[in-house]
């Protein structure tokens, strides 16, 4: 087997290992030939393998080894449309995953892409930022604009804040029901650096400019914002309908009320801060929880601007009360809560829980929420009113403050035209959503008037007009039909109004659907 070709190896396998099946896709079987047949073998090998046969002095010939070119994988270029698809997906990955643009320059990422598809070459960082990103953005922008302009009514939410570099920003989000899917859609139409003075006039001009850019200036149904005076003034100047952010107002209610137990909250914060700063304390707390078969859970620290975080802090503390009490007794007895302070925490949590649940539910974007505002207020008032007399003065003060703040900020919410109409037209609530029957009656009457002003063509009459009987000329002596015709002539113009009111009354009399069902789907069906 001293030959440099694979012929010797093939011959060896056939002679010594005849049971092995050899696939000869590239080479013909090696044959033993006589000196008289050398020329014939050489010519045959040349024809079949397109190589020159080497004839040795031993009167035997073997085909040469295949060249390296026969094993090189040639990259097939991708079609242009496929490259564009991959480029667009790359931009989506960068944008939605919040990746830095330099990811296309990272060595391991480039290796990964090469392994996944060797026919695709990653674009440079400059190409991504100057060509691909603007291209995909403009494509999505036009797509969103074409959909949002079809909406008959759009609700805007807006808010402003300062960045860590002290730059002012204003975000504008549009919410509407898609005419094709009948689903609630939310689109941020702007998050812009606002370097002007924050006057109501400037903010109003800014909002109007954005609405004009998106061609939705005539479709704004309402603008939801916090209770800042300049924002409310801007909405008033623009002539738009204003709705205060329910979650923000609810946050103000609770923030003003939990001050009644501020001394307890201060001690709880000190306790939580100790376990966050002290590694030995945190380790001991974890060990204590393991011994008691609870958790292990970490204590949560609150954020001053979000009362929900205060509830999370109290709730987590109470869940591992025994472990905290035992650990503090060993590590920092000066931070221990008294029995009365623990009792106040236990009584405050169920009172605050209902506000916590409502805040979380109204903060979602995947479902309609305006029709729930009046219902939530009704339920919150009911929960507060049925709170029994308390032994502890701080809890009594907390409940009294919640009642006062709720009446101050939400006492007239059932008189809000937009919210009351939304509640009535939600098949989950209707009249049941109201505390005061008079407010429901007034809202329903206003809705009937609006329905009466809507005149829809009768499709059956429009498609198949009913032929009228010939009208005879007026009789000198009058006709038996005269009084009837006069009455009908008065009623005919009122038919659309009457039909609309009848339909509305039928709607109110229908049973409520489950509160877990989608009201948009109900109206669609």
Of 71, 93, 108, the residue at which a domain comes to its end is 71
- pLDDT bin (cut points 50, 70, 90) of residue 477 is low
The per-residue pLDDT for 161 is 85
Over residues 15-24, the mean pLDDT reads: 58
Least confidently predicted of 50-59, 140-149, 420-429:
50-59
**Domain contains 63:** yes
Whether residue 462 is predicted with pLDDT greater than 70 in this model: the reply is no
Q: Are residues 229 and 317 in the same domain?
A: no
Q: Are residues 302 and 268 in the same domain?
A: yes
The per-residue pLDDT for 83 is 93
**Domain contains 339:** yes
The per-residue pLDDT for 181 is 85
Over residues 472-496, the mean pLDDT reads: 60
171 token code pair: 């975000």
Residue 32 makes CB contacts below 8 A (sequence gap 6+) with 60
Domain total in the chain: 5
Whether residue 276 is predicted with pLDDT greater than 70 in this model: the reply is yes
pLDDT in tens, 186-203: 999 999 999 888 899 999
pLDDT in tens, 346-382: 999 999 999 999 998 888 767 778 999 999 999 999 9
pLDDT more than 90, % of the chain: 59
What is the distance, to the nearest Å, from the Cα of residue 398 to the centroid of all Cα atoms in its chain? 35
Q: Which residues pair with 492 in a beta bridge?
A: none
Q: Are residues 297 and 328 in the same domain?
A: yes
Q: Which residue in 250, 244, 271 sits closest to 345, CA to CA?
A: 271
Of 145, 167, 189, the residue at which a domain comes to its end is 145
Q: Are residues 224 and 264 in the same domain?
A: no
**Domain contains 250:** no
Phi, psi (rounded to 5 degrees) for 512: -70, 150
Least confidently predicted of 246-260, 303-317, 456-470:
456-470
**Domain contains 251:** no
Q: Are residues 139 and 154 in the same domain?
A: no
Whether residue 265 is predicted with pLDDT greater than 80 in this model: the reply is yes
The per-residue pLDDT for 49 is 41
Q: Which of 50-54, 70-74, 114-118: highest mean pLDDT?
A: 114-118
Q: Are residues 380 and 273 in the same domain?
A: yes
Q: Are residues 295 and 386 in the same domain?
A: yes
Of 50, 71, 92, the residue at which a domain comes to its end is 71
Q: Are residues 261 and 385 in the same domain?
A: yes
What residues make up the domain containing 447? 420-466+474-524
- pLDDT bin (cut points 50, 70, 90) of residue 392 is confident
pLDDT in tens, 233-242: 999 999 999 9
Q: Are residues 285 and 388 in the same domain?
A: yes
Q: Are residues 448 and 309 in the same domain?
A: no
Whether residue 210 is predicted with pLDDT greater than 90 in this model: the reply is yes
**Domain contains 249:** no
**Domain contains 94:** yes
Residue found under tokens 């109007």: 208
**Domain contains 403:** yes
What does pLDDT average to over the chain? 83
Q: Are residues 206 and 127 in the same domain?
A: no
**Domain contains 2:** no
The per-residue pLDDT for 39 is 45
Greater confidence (105 vs 495) lies with 105
Q: Are residues 320 and 452 in the same domain?
A: no
SS3 139: helix
Angle formed by the axes of helices 339-362 and 246-257, to 10°? Answer: 170
292 token code pair: 């008691």
């Amino acid at each position: 087997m001293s030959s440099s070709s694979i012929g010797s190896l093939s011959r060896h396998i056939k002679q010594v290992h005849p049971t092995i099946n050899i696939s000869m896709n590239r080479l013909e079987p090696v044959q033993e030939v006589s000196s008289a047949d050398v020329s014939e073998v050489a010519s045959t090998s040349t024809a079949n393998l397109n190589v020159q046969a080497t004839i040795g002095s031993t009167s035997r010939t073997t085909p040469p080894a295949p060249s390296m070119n026969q094993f090189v994988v040639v990259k097939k270029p991708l079609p242009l449309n496929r490259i564009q698809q991959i480029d667009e997906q790359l931009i989506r990955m960068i944008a939605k995953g919040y990746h830095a643009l330099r990811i296309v320059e990272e060595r391991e990422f480039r290796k990964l892409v090469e392994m996944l598809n060797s026919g695709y070459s990653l674009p440079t960082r400059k190409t991504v930022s100057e060509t691909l990103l603007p291209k995909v953005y403009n494509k999505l922008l036009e797509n969103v604009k074409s959909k949002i302009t079809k909406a008959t009514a759009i609700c805007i939410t807006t808010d402003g804040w300062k960045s860590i570099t002290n730059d002012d920003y204003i975000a504008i989000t549009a919410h509407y029901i898609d005419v094709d899917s009948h689903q609630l859609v939310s689109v941020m139409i702007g998050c812009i650096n606002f370097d002007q003075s924050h006057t109501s006039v400037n903010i109003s001009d800014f909002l109007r400019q954005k609405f004009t850019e998106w061609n939705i200036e005539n479709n704004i149904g309402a603008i939801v914002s916090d209770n800042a005076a300049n924002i409310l003034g801007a909405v008033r100047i623009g002539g738009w309908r204003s709705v205060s952010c329910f979650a923000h107002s609810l946050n103000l209610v609770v923030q003003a009320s939990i001050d009644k137990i501020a001394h307890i909250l201060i001690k709880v914060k000190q306790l939580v801060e100790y376990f966050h700063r002290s590694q030995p304390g945190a380790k001991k707390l974890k060990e204590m929880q393991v011994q008691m078969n609870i958790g292990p859970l970490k204590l949560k620290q609150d954020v001053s601007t979000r009362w929900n975080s205060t509830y999370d802090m109290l709730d987590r503390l109470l869940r591992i009360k025994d472990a905290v009490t035992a650990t503090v007794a060993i590590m920092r007895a000066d931070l221990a809560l008294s029995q009365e302070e623990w009792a106040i925490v236990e009584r405050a949590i169920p009172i605050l829980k209902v506000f916590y649940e409502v805040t979380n539910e109204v903060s979602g974007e995947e479902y309609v929420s305006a029709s729930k505002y009046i219902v939530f207020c009704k339920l919150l008032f009911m929960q507060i009113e049925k709170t029994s007399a308390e032994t502890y003065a701080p809890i009594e003060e907390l409940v009294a403050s919640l009642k006062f703040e709720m009446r101050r900020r939400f006492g007239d919410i059932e008189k809000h035209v937009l919210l009351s109409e939304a509640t009535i037209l939600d098949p989950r609530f209707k009249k049941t959503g109201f505390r005061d029957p008079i407010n429901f009656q007034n809202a329903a009457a206003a809705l009937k008037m609006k329905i009466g002003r809507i005149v829809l063509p009768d499709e059956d009459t429009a498609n198949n007009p009913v032929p009228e009987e010939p009208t005879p000329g007026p009789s000198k002596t009058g006709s038996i039909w005269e009084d009837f015709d006069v009455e009908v002539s008065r009623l005919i113009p009122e038919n659309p109004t009457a039909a609309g009111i009848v339909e509305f009354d039928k709607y109110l009399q229908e049973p409520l659907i489950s509160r877990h069902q989608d009201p948009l789907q109900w109206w669609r069906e």
